[in-house]
Chains A and B, each alone.
Chain A
Amino acid sequence: MKHKYSIGRIATVLCLMAFLAQAQDKAKKGTITIGLAYHQLNNDLPVIKVSAKTRKNKKFQPVERVVINLFFNDETSQGFMGRVETNSNGAASLSLPVRFKAQFDSLFSFKFIGTLIQNDSFEDQSTELEISKAKVELNLEDIDSVRMIHAKVLAFQDTGWVAQPETEIKLVVRRLMSDLAATEEETFTTDKNGEASAEFSLSIPGDVQGNVTIGAKIDDHETYGSLVSTKTTKWGVPLDPDNSFAKTFAKRSLWATRDKTPLWLLIFPNLIIVTVWGIIFYLIFQISRIKKLGRTNDTV
């Protein structure tokens, strides 16, 4: 009886230890902060940008390789947009799949949900982002060499698209690495018609035809997210392509392609190669001569 009692105690202790270990494991898991951002370009389907960070040593650090599930409106299988994995900067992105287009077009506002579940290092986490649908209309005017940029912000409401006054908007020229302010002022606020206009007087290089891309953008707005509308126009200075590099390579030089080898480098080494290999073939021919002599000797 005493024996049975001790087995029971041991089993209880073991169970308790297992439970404590599990609890400790759970306690060890860190907290993750998931951020969602809404980006829409030229009224196309939006892109959801995800960021994941955690607090370590009193500093936020990006978390890489965490898998986050994204949902559109409902955290159900119908609303499942897809799954993303963060990169070394703790960032990932996903476009709203085309199957949601009809739903997206009909709604005034919607929400995006990002969830992290069953992660070994972090506790389960869920974040929501609510957006009211809006758009930016961009018009470019060139009258008597006066170039004007007109931008209008509209929000989708019961009555249709309604102009939005008092909204901050930037007028920019889109360049390779970032956006350049298209006007002297960096930001504009839309008037009662939801419009902002400014004269474009920059003299900047475009492509060979002078094309530049002008944009009007709302940056990280708390209701509308980030919206960009762009148009390409010939307002830039046509680029005179620098062909000097190609010209240099077209000449015979040490750094040109093999068909442009400098003549001296073709003549002298090839002369040496032909001479040396000529002698080598002569020596091989000598072996055949020796062979012939041996055969003649055999027949004699």
Chain B
Amino acid sequence: MSQLTNSSKITTDLLPQKFGTGGRIWTGILVVLCLVGLYGYYRQVTVGLVVTNMRDYASWGIYISNFVFFVAISLVGSLITAIFRLASVEWRTPLTRIAEIIAVSAILFASIIIIVDMGRPERFTHLFLYGRLQSPIMWDVIVITTYLTISVLFLYFPLLPDLPILIKNSKDGSVRQKFYKFIGSFWKGTAAQFRISENALRIISVMIIPVALAIHTVTSWLFATTYRPGWDSTNFGAYFVSGAFLVGAGGVVVAMYVFRKAYKFEAYITEKHFDNMSKIVVLLALVYLYFNINEYLVPAFKMKKAEEHHLRSLFVGDFARLFWTAIVMSMIVPIVVLLFPKGRKPFPAFVMGLFVVVGAWFKRYLIVTPTMLSPFLPMYDVPDSYKQYFPSWEEWAITTGSLAGTLLIITIFTRLFPIIPIHETIEEMEHIKHEKV
């Protein structure tokens, strides 16, 4: 960090860069995936939900598991930006914007994917016009809207000091400069403006934590308030929140590695950051593992008749391979690998982060689908297609498209704005310099 004393060097390093060949290919792939997803959705809207493989029993499928995944990963915004800010964790600076843009894009697609799951999407507004507060789905709608708004504000306020730098360093009269001016030409960096901004950030940091906890707790209640095997648990809120923090932290580690490699941020996102984040991942994986043991061991010990089918399908049945892979992949392996200093180096930490994120996605699938296929009353006199569920190509296309859409938002954001805050980094360097003097 000592070499980073020159503010103009920091500015040059951190300004958004044009995409190279790799960046263009990456963006192209994401756009294609989004278009395929849009086509899948076009088919679903024109033909109907019958194009999915969801039927009477598995009426919640891959869309809902994807929704839970998005809500989970969005919690990272509150972990890195808010909790670290309140705890005065100094090394957080290069990670805050990464975490916040992941949060905003994920929660945005969580809202979109829930509309995708609707049979009559044009009636979406009815949720606001005729919503019943008695319904947990209504609570989710309220909390997601609130969290999305707060997250956008949390992204916007720290961005303000960087906007004059971006205006200055963009081509005069260009569309991009006009856009920067539109959103932040009023920022002059006066003491009064900083005071207001700092105050607002403190308020958001405090407020976003309960809202973030609420968003995932309420999401868990969508399941827990329903009397079904595997969901009928008082533990579900804490179980979901702990899993969300884990996948969020894993997602940040992956993003850190990708940005570090793509934009040569080695001087800013250092091995120290990977080491610290890896330790956090271990802690969160241990907490999530603890909740998993609670969720599965206790019902398995009792093995109530009504729950037996569900538990057996997970432990030794149709979902066993996926279940054990998800547990080992997203918790046990990362805990073991990241416990060792060598495992906390950037590349192994990145691989473990990937394990956590991919495992977490499948874990959400395992929370939703096996329960739907284990009703309390046995399935009787129903077509065979009702007794199992595997997503149709339209469902896969839409889901992949939504994941690609999240990454596309992050990619476009990175092209427009510095993914590591420039002003904050310069200020931090100045502070270190003063301390040394």
Which A residues form the contact surface with B (CB < 8 A)?
Answer: 253-258, 261-262, 265-266, 269-270, 273, 276-277, 279-280, 282-284, 286-287, 289-291, 293-295, 297-298
B150: Cβ under 8 A from any A Cβ: yes
Contact B134 A293 (CB under 8 A): no
Contact A291 B133 (CB under 8 A): no
Contact A261 B200 (CB under 8 A): no
Question: Known interface pairs A255-B134, A283-B200. Does A293 touch B146 (Cβ–Cβ under 8 Å)?
Answer: no
Contact A265 B134 (CB under 8 A): yes
Which residues of B, 156-208, contact A by the 8 Å Cβ criterion?
156, 160, 185-188, 190, 192-193, 196-197, 199-200, 203-204, 207
B132: Cβ under 8 A from any A Cβ: yes
B131: Cβ under 8 A from any A Cβ: yes
Give CA–CA (A295, B142) in the complex, Å.
35
Which B residues form the contact surface with A (CB < 8 A)?
Answer: 130-134, 139, 142, 146, 149-150, 153, 156, 160, 185-188, 190, 192-193, 196-197, 199-200, 203-204, 207, 211
Chain A residues in 8 Å Cβ range of B150: 280
Contact A294 B134 (CB under 8 A): no
Give CA–CA (A134, B428) in the complex, Å.
103
Contact A254 B134 (CB under 8 A): yes
Question: Known interface pairs A273-B142, A289-B196, A290-B160. Does A279 touch B203 (Cβ–Cβ under 8 Å)?
Answer: yes
Among A258, A280, A293, contact of B192 (Cβ-Cβ < 8 Å): A293
Give CA–CA (A293, B153) in the complex, Å.
19
Contact A294 B130 (CB under 8 A): no
Contact B187 A290 (CB under 8 A): yes
Give CA–CA (A133, B193) in the complex, Å.
98
Contact A261 B153 (CB under 8 A): no
Contact B130 A258 (CB under 8 A): yes
Query: Chain A: which residue is nearest B210 at the CB level?
Result: A276
Contact A291 B146 (CB under 8 A): no
Chain A residues in 8 Å Cβ range of B203: 279, 282-283
Among A262, A265, A280, contact of B153 (Cβ-Cβ < 8 Å): A280
Among B149, B156, B196, contact of A293 (Cβ-Cβ < 8 Å): B196
Chain A residues in 8 Å Cβ range of B160: 290
Rounded to whole Å, the gap between the CB of A264 and the closest CB of chain B is 10
Q: Is the interface of A mostly helix, strand, loop or mixed?
A: helix
Give CA–CA (A265, B132) in the complex, Å.
10
Contact A257 B132 (CB under 8 A): yes
Q: List 8 A-B contacts (CB under 8 A).
A: A265-B133, A279-B207, A283-B153, A289-B196, A290-B187, A293-B190, A293-B193, A298-B188
Give CA–CA (A47, B204) in the complex, Å.
73
Q: How many A-B residue pairs have CB under 8 A?
A: 68
Rounded to whole Å, the gap between the CB of B224 and the closest CB of chain A is 15
Interface-centre pick from B134, B146, B200, B204 (highest chain A CB count, 10 A): B134
11 additional contacts (CB under 8 A) given A293-B188, A293-B190: A256-B134, A269-B139, A270-B133, A273-B146, A276-B207, A280-B153, A284-B153, A286-B199, A287-B156, A290-B187, A294-B187
Interface-centre pick from B132, B149, B156, B211 (highest chain A CB count, 10 A): B132
Give CA–CA (A45, B188) in the complex, Å.
89
Q: Which 8 A-B pairs have the closest CB atoms?
A: A294-B186, A258-B132, A291-B186, A297-B188, A286-B200, A254-B134, A261-B133, A294-B188
Give CA–CA (A283, B199) in the complex, Å.
9
Rounded to whole Å, the gap between the CB of A167 and the closest CB of chain B is 40
Question: Known interface pairs A283-B200, A283-B204, A286-B196. Does A294 touch B185 (Cβ–Cβ under 8 Å)?
Answer: yes
Contact B149 A280 (CB under 8 A): yes
Rounded to whole Å, the gap between the CB of A69 and the closest CB of chain B is 31
Interface-centre pick from B139, B186, B190 (highest chain A CB count, 10 A): B186
Contact B133 A266 (CB under 8 A): yes
Give CA–CA (A279, B187) in the complex, Å.
22
Give CA–CA (A293, B132) in the complex, Å.
43
Rounded to whole Å, the gap between the CB of A179 and the closest CB of chain B is 26
Chain B residues in 8 Å Cβ range of A287: 156
Give CA–CA (A297, B187) in the complex, Å.
10
Contact A261 B134 (CB under 8 A): yes
Contact B133 A290 (CB under 8 A): no
Rounded to whole Å, the gap between the CB of B151 and the closest CB of chain A is 11
Rounded to whole Å, the gap between the CB of A206 and the closest CB of chain B is 34
Give CA–CA (A277, B149) in the complex, Å.
10
Interface-centre pick from A255, A261, A290, A294 (highest chain B CB count, 10 A): A290
Chain A residues in 8 Å Cβ range of B188: 293-294, 297-298
Chain A residues in 8 Å Cβ range of B185: 294
Chain A residues in 8 Å Cβ range of B199: 286
Query: Chain B: which residue is nearest A273 at the CB level?
Result: B142
Question: Known interface pairs A277-B146, A280-B153. Does A297 touch B134 (Cβ–Cβ under 8 Å)?
Answer: no
Query: Chain B: which residue is nearest A269 at the CB level?
Result: B133
Give CA–CA (A266, B134) in the complex, Å.
9
Give CA–CA (A279, B204) in the complex, Å.
9
Give CA–CA (A298, B196) in the complex, Å.
18
Give CA–CA (A170, B312) in the complex, Å.
55
Chain B residues in 8 Å Cβ range of A265: 133-134
Chain B residues in 8 Å Cβ range of A269: 133, 139, 142
Chain A residues in 8 Å Cβ range of B139: 269
Chain A residues in 8 Å Cβ range of B204: 283
